[in-house]
Structure 1
Amino acid sequence: MDDTALGLWGVPLAILAGAIRVSTPFIFVSLGETLTERSGRINLGLEGTLVFGAMSAYAVAVMTGSPWAGVLAAMLAGAAFGLVHGFICRFPKVNDIAIGIAMMQFGLGLAFFLGKSFIQPVAPKLPAIELGFWSSLPQIRSALNINVLFLIGIGLTFVIAWMLKNTRPGLILRVVGDSSDAARAMGINPDRVRLLATAVGGAFAAVGGAYLSLYYPGSWNERISSGQGLMAVALVIFARWNPKGCLLASLLFGGAGALGPALQSVGVTEGYYLFYAAPYVLTLIILIATSSPEQRLSGAPEELSLAK
């Protein structure tokens, strides 16, 4: 059966498949950044963490033959990046945003330098669950070929949402994000909490990078990210620092990213490439819509730089 056999029905089907595939890195990066920002710190270095996580996951998977070992390596690398970022930001008069940009460039440069020898080797891919086994149509089978990390990301979304509302660690994170003075009065060390939150956020972002190199597109190269780490920061603002909102926004961004390939899959040969810019246009619209010098962002932690 050829690619156009489903006709126009192939477009929403391709967008659904693309939304699932493209959204997975956004889910992990945005969940990690949500935890970091709920503690009162913004991390713009996630682009570098994402790319370095992709490289380290691919390299370890090649050397060990295990994609899950690669994911674990990415998590450790991302946590290390987060710890460095958080440690530097503990010093007085240090700007979170400036340090984030520096860490982004450091992560990108280190990934490109260490990853040169892993561009050619082929790493084992992460497993997927074939939920479309019941259909004889290859398009449906492909659309419902769901990677395990996507399902883990959905599960983490609800776990983190529950944790923030109903557990002591969630309360501590929210208190630190809203008032350092109140946290100190409760005997909580805000710097320590932010350090841990930044480390966890970095680990999550690196898992998103591992997905890119070990599943979709499933290779390592220096242009693997396309700015997804930075777009995830805008996504968190759009979701108002709500994990469930991050999941929905990630699917929206994923669907926007899949629009160009979806049109191409049904035979649109002119102008479809313009839709490849849809995620970037969406990011720009969100940043413009949420930028106001006179009005505080609803849901923003009080200690966050964006809220001041």
Structure 2
Amino acid sequence: MEADSNLTIVLLAMLAGAIRVSTPFLFVSLGECLTEKSGRINLGLEGTLVFGAMTAYAISYHSGSPWLGVLVAGFAGSLFGALHGYICKLPRVNDIAIGIALMLFGTGLAFFLGKAYIQPQAPRLPSIQLGGWSDNAQVQSALQINPLFLVGIALAVFLWWAFRNTRWGLIVRMTGDSAPAALAMGYSVNWVRFTATTVGGFCAGVGGAFLSLYYPGSWSEGLSSGQGLMAVALVIFARWNPLACFGAALLFGAAGALGPALQSIGVTQGYYFFNAAPYVLTLLIMIASTSPKRSLKGAPGELSITK
């Protein structure tokens, strides 16, 4: 009986953790999915995520409005995305190298400007209580949903639909699969990729706002823990499918919640190993993705990793 109770607690804790932890992964992976669909890789989203987190926290602290912080964080992410897009359209520029440079720049700038916001408490984002129907405290906790999680789901569905059914979605896909074909149709490859990278940066900035304003809900220099880079692996694992990005984000979120869930029932031995589950999962996914038969299945043909 006790074993069943412990299992229920662990599962509910992992559900709650999956919903919370997956949200930044979801926004960053969707932004990267859009960027890569246009034929460009942006490894700088880790820096964008961190800078978005710092920006959101600072704006929320000074304005008293966490939602304004989310919006400004998105626009800050757009600036980083636009910078990446502009530099990458220059001749003989490698998008992977530029992404790494912007990752370091964004992270360093966030650390420099964010030192004044490590101690102050900023207003946090609210949550929607969907567990009021239950008297179980674990169920109520597991079903505390942040609106950004629902927005992320809607965005994943919209992108999946738009890539298949809208003109701009088909243009993005064509640009990512064959730049000569897009040029022959009269579309500017640089402009399409610039726009996709800018919007992708906006998504990453919003993901950073979730980190600082909801979970874990503070600003510190170690806030991201590499989630922006892991989201790139997540996109490969999801085969550039926005709906699959949502499922993969939940998987990564559940892996991240495994350690705290086991600690909640008194399992402390190997706690730090379980906390490393998302990184182990990323490593396993990247190893599995290097299979010659399927590593680039579904990848846009213009990505630098396919050439």
TM-score, normalised to structure 1's length?
Answer: 0.97
Q: Is residue 97 from structure 1 mapped to residue 96 from structure 2 by the alignment?
A: yes
Shift of 1:285: 0.9
Q: Which residue of 2 aligns with 1:305?
A: 304
Q: Which residue of 2 aligns with 1:132?
A: 131
Q: Deviations over 1:15-65 (max 9, x none)?
A: 111000000001100000000000000000010000000000000000000
Matches of 2:295 and 2:14 in 1, distance apart? 34
Matches of 1:268 and 1:304 in 2, distance apart? 44
Q: Provide the aligned C-alpha RMSD in A.
A: 1.3
Matches of 1:256 and 1:81 in 2, distance apart? 29
Q: Which residue of 1 aligns with 2:80?
A: 81
- 1:16–1:255 Cα contact (<8 Å) kept: yes
Matches of 1:14 and 1:306 in 2, distance apart? 38
Shift of 1:79: 0.2
Shift of 1:156: 0.7
Which deviates further from its counterpart, 5-14 or 182-191? Answer: 5-14
Matches of 2:192 and 2:265 in 1, distance apart? 50
Q: Find the residue that maps to 2:276 and give its secondary structure.
A: helix
Matches of 2:298 and 2:6 in 1, distance apart? 43
Shift of 1:80: 0.2
- 2:289–2:295 Cα contact (<8 Å) kept: no
Shift of 1:273: 2.1
Shift of 1:294: 7.1
- 2:84–2:99 Cα contact (<8 Å) kept: yes
Shift of 1:8: 2.4
Which deviates further from its counterpart, 257-266 or 134-143? Answer: 134-143
Q: Find the residue that maps to 2:134 and give its secondary structure.
A: coil
Which deviates further from its counterpart, 84-93 or 294-303? Answer: 294-303
Matches of 1:139 and 1:126 in 2, distance apart? 21
Q: Which residue of 2 aligns with 1:252?
A: 251
Q: Which residue of 2 aligns with 1:37?
A: 36
Structure 1 stretches lacking a partner, 5+ long: none
Q: Find the residue that maps to 2:28 and give its secondary structure.
A: helix
Q: Which residue of 1 aligns with 2:144?
A: 145
Q: Is residue 215 from structure 1 mapped to residue 231 from structure 2 by the alignment?
A: no
Matches of 2:7 and 2:193 in 1, distance apart? 49
Name the amino acid aligned to 2:194: L
The count of residues paired between Structure 1 and Structure 2 equals 305
Q: Which residue of 1 aligns with 2:275?
A: 276
Q: Which residue of 2 aligns with 1:66?
A: 65
Shift of 1:136: 2.0
Shift of 1:92: 1.2
Matches of 1:135 and 1:295 in 2, distance apart? 45
- 2:16–2:143 Cα contact (<8 Å) kept: yes
- 2:44–2:101 Cα contact (<8 Å) kept: yes
Shift of 1:5: 10
Matches of 1:51 and 1:193 in 2, distance apart? 26
Q: How does 1:180-195 map to 2 (within 5 A)?
A: 180-195=179-194
Q: Which residue of 2 aligns with 1:177?
A: 176
Would the alpha carbon gap of residues 217 and 296 (structure 1) be closer, same or farther in structure 2, given more than 3 Å must change? closer
- 1:296–1:307 Cα contact (<8 Å) kept: no
Q: Which residue of 2 aligns with 1:225?
A: 224
TM-score, normalised to structure 2's length?
Answer: 0.97
Shift of 1:190: 0.3
Q: Deviations over 1:184-242 (max 9, x none)?
A: 00000000000000000000011000000000000000000000000000000000000
Structure 2 stretches lacking a partner, 5+ long: none
- 2:21–2:253 Cα contact (<8 Å) kept: yes
Q: Which residue of 2 aligns with 1:52?
A: 51
Q: Find the residue that maps to 1:101 and give its secondary structure.
A: helix
Shift of 1:120: 1.0
Matches of 1:295 and 1:57 in 2, distance apart? 39
Q: Which residue of 2 aligns with 1:261?
A: 260
Would the alpha carbon gap of residues 285 and 296 (structure 1) be closer, same or farther in structure 2, given more than 3 Å must change? closer
- 2:131–2:141 Cα contact (<8 Å) kept: yes
Name the amino acid aligned to 1:119: I
Shift of 1:270: 1.2
Q: How does 1:200-211 map to 2 (within 5 A)?
A: 200-211=199-210
- 1:41–1:305 Cα contact (<8 Å) kept: yes
Matches of 2:105 and 2:124 in 1, distance apart? 27
